[in-house]
Structure 1
Amino acid sequence: MGQNEAGPAPSDEVTMTSQEPQDPQESQEGAPATQDAVDRMIAEWAEVRPGLDVSSNQVVSRMLRLIRLFERDRERVLESVELEPWSFDMLALLRRRSLGAATPRDLMSATLVTSGTMTARLKSLESRGWVTRSPDTIDRRQVIVKLTTPGRELFDQVFADVLDCQNRLIACLDKGEREHLAGVFRMMLLNLED
């Protein structure tokens, strides 16, 4: 899973319960579970709507639950340095650029948010001293957003902990399984993204 640089967390299911995700390895006897919450959901649909094809939930609902588990873990890390998930994602976008800079349009395209939302986010980051906004020296109609030294230092401080969150999420997969899963997700994104 990548940087998860998107907007608000999705609701669970397609319609899952609002119950907090449980450890998928738990079972009543303490042994590793063989069925997860999605298996139970599919079984419930089969009972009340036996003719309804909900097979897509086998994939989509698991993706949503994994995202929730990761974001819950990541938020605990970010709260310790007073970062919101969206502000971490914005700093990450800038940090991985060779010059630590991008245009608002670049940032909007990467985060899939509206111009109004992006303007508000940039104002917030700028007020905290993490980014600057200035006219492009070549085209002064263009604004350049640049990561400041405090913004870079804050991001570097917390990034390793966020990577730990990601590694915990996929710890049960071996190298081959990770590469296969990444390939499947890549194919899905290529099919859906512009």
Structure 2
Amino acid sequence: MATEQELSDFLKSVDKRAFKRALYHVRNEESALDIVQDSMMKLAEHYGDKPVAELPMLFQRILTNCTLDWFRRQKTRNAVFTNLGDFEGPDDDGSGFDLLEVHSGVPEGEAVQSAEDIVRRQQVLHSIETEIQALPARQREAFLMRYWEEMDVAETAAAMGCSEGSVKTHCFRAVQALSRALKAKGITL
């Protein structure tokens, strides 16, 4: 059974990754923040009494469902208000999210990178981020859960509501597509 502090620590540990995952899907910072906040509230409200070990899986499933709910609401809103334009303004491309903030720390004992290395790294990260956004939704979801959230195949399958074979297929196709796209840009990892 998770204590209040354990639940709080868990939510702090997943907030940036959850935001980034939601942002990849909805491509709007405000909407992504709303989805993550809604997911966290639902986890705390409905599953806060579950063991700490179950929280990551429950949260991933809730985040997926909240994202799908957002798309359903958008579809309904767009069907009803097609002639009234966009209520939320132009789509945010996520450029306000500083990917380097997450990846910029220099591990202890390593030399500080040159400005050229930092710019090169920033360009590579931007290219990777762009290519991840270009993946089909299910491939992107499977890829992010497996390699960003470090979930195993069974956990990813349960969170996505599909078979383990589907997860493997989505991940394989995502990795192949990313590899081809990055290779075409001259980026090798």
Q: Same fold (TM over 0.5)?
A: no
Length-normalised TM-score, structure 1: 0.32
Structure with the larger helix share: 2
Q: Provide TM-score, normalisation by structure 2.
A: 0.32
- Point out the structure with max Rg over C-alpha: 1
Higher strand share: 1
